[in-house]
Structure 1
Amino acid sequence: MTPLLIIIPVVLLVGVLALGAFMWSLRAGQYEDMDGAAQRILDDSADDAPPDKR
C-alpha cells in the first residue's frame, strides 16, 4: 500500500507536466503548419543553388 502513496502523486505530477508542455507547444505555434515541413523536404531548389565562395 505504501508504494501506491508514492507512485500516484508522481504519476499525476508527470501527467500535469506533460499537459503543460503540450499546452506550451500549442501556444508557441508548433502545430500551425503541418504540411509545410512535408513539402519542404521534397523541394530541392535549395540544393540547386551554387555554394557561397567567400
Structure 2
Amino acid sequence: MSVLVYLIPVSIALGAAGLLAFLWSLRSGQYQDLDGAAERVLFDDEEGPEIGKP
C-alpha cells in the first residue's frame, strides 16, 4: 500500500508531461498540414539526383 504513495504522483507527473508536450506541439504548428506529407510522397520531384552524368 505504501507503494501507491510513490506511484500516484509519478503517474500524475507523467500524464502532465504528456499533456504539456501535446499542447506544445499544437502551438508550434505540428498539425497544420496533415495531408501535405502524404501527398508529397506520391509526386516526383522536378529535379532528382543526377547519377552517372559528368
The TM-score normalised by the length of structure 1 is 0.83
Identity of aligned residues (%): 51
Matches for 1:1-54 after TM superposition, within 5 Å:
1-44=1-44, 46=45, 48-51=46-49
Pairs aligned (count): 51
Runs of 4+ in structure 1 displaced over 6 angstroms? none
CA RMSD across the alignment: 1.7
Tell me, which stretches of 5 or more residues in structure 1 are unaligned?
Answer: none
